[in-house]
Structure 1
Amino acid sequence: MRRTITTIAATAAFAAALTFSAPTAQATPPGRICFWTEPGMMGQSWCYGPPGYAEAENGTQRHAYSFESRYNGTVYAISYGAGSSCLYREIRADDYDENWTAWAGKLDGVSHETMGCEPG
């Protein structure tokens, strides 16, 4: 009887822990910059590793609501406008934003250089 009560209590505690634990965000690997589709580094993610330019993928293009940089240098978020116009946003080493509303709807890609774009 005592063993049954202990087993039931342990099972109930485990089930409660599963119910109340929030989903965890994917960790950003060293040397990369990761972007997520939701605030708090949640949702779909895409990671960039310099050098070069890469288009944002996995739902993050024009929908990147958080980011984290674990790259030991500077990269640039790029946003293309009408015609040949474009803007960049500098992302420094260890930079992050859990609610990146200023650029959430702008991110088109990332580069290790400004690509001739204007600051924005």
Structure 2
Amino acid sequence: MKLASLTNNLELNETRPAIQVLMETEAGKEIRIAFKKGQVMKEHKTPFPIVVEIFEGAIDFGVNGEIHNLKKGDLISLDGGVPHDLKAVEASTVRLSLNKADSTKRVEGVVNQ
């Protein structure tokens, strides 16, 4: 059994979204991305399917150039290879569910672009 929290020990970064691996299991990885208002993750792709949950706040989630206004409680799933970007409309906490074969280093690289 493993326990994690989307709200405990929440840290923000002044210049870019803050990424923290919350849990890693045999099936996948759960990552928290904490955004200050206006912070972005530039367009990128993942090699594997993902699920993104807006746990708190609001995100403009771009998929192939189309903006989806996601708010607290919304979920979106994408297949691998689909270009997408995120912009925090307000301070937001996002939960990213990754395939076990995907790399958290790849996600960190996107944030550091």
TM-score (norm 2): 0.41
Structure number with higher relative contact order (C-alpha < 8 Å, ≥ 6 residues apart) = 2
Higher helix share: 1
TM-score (norm 1): 0.39
